[in-house]
Amino acid sequence: MIADLQCVVLDCSAPEELAEFYRSLLGGIVNQPDRRWSVGDDWATLHTPSGLVLAFQQVADYRPPLWPDPDRPQQFHLDFGVADLDRAEEQVLARGATVLDDDSDAQGWRIYADPAGHPFCLVQHGDG
């Protein structure tokens, strides 16, 4: 095991509005303080009663997916918590991932693509 799933992130045009929609379905707390994520105009979170965290990321000129149109596919990414970013990077690259953004390291996360091109992040576990 390299990591644990911490969050599923959905692209959208109005993050807090979409977070409130999912809160109405799942319950939970929108924008609960959490050291792993910052919230703002372009990012919102939903901590559900089951422990699942959904995040909503604003995308400029957002175009919603059209099911099942491959020209407008589903849009999301996964965040995986890891104890050691360097070690986890070595492991995911060995399994076929590619680096998408190596400038995010100072933020405590790194961005990759899986072998099919889907983005995912490795997020450094904090203390406590």
Tell me, yes or no, whether 69 lies in a domain.
no
Looking at residue 105, its pLDDT comes to: 62
Looking at residue 128, its pLDDT comes to: 34
Question: Any idea what DSSP says for residue 24?
Answer: H
Q: Is 118 helix (H, G, I), strand (E, B) or coil?
A: coil
**Domain ranges, residue 39:** 4-59+75-124
Tell me, yes or no, whether 66 lies in a domain.
no
Tell me, yes or no, whether 70 lies in a domain.
no
Give the global pTM. 0.78
Q: How many domains does the chain have?
A: 1
Looking at residue 43, its pLDDT comes to: 95
Tell me, yes or no, whether 118 lies in a domain.
yes
Looking at residue 127, its pLDDT comes to: 44
For tokens 């918590």, the residue is 81
Looking at residue 108, its pLDDT comes to: 84
Tell me, yes or no, whether 111 lies in a domain.
yes
Tell me, yes or no, whether 68 lies in a domain.
no
CB-based burial, 43-75: b 16+ in 10 Å, e otherwise = bbbbbeeeeebbbbbbeeeeeeeeeeeeeeeeb
Per-residue pLDDT of the chain (128 residues; tens, 9 = 90+): 999 999 999 999 999 999 999 999 999 999 999 988 888 899 999 999 999 999 999 999 998 888 788 898 888 888 898 999 999 999 999 999 999 887 766 678 899 998 878 889 999 876 43
Tell me, yes or no, whether 64 lies in a domain.
no
DSSP string, 48-104: -TTS-EEEEEE-TT-----TT-TTS---EEEEEEES-HHHHHHHHHHTT-EEEESS-
What's 120's domain CATH number? 3.10.180.10
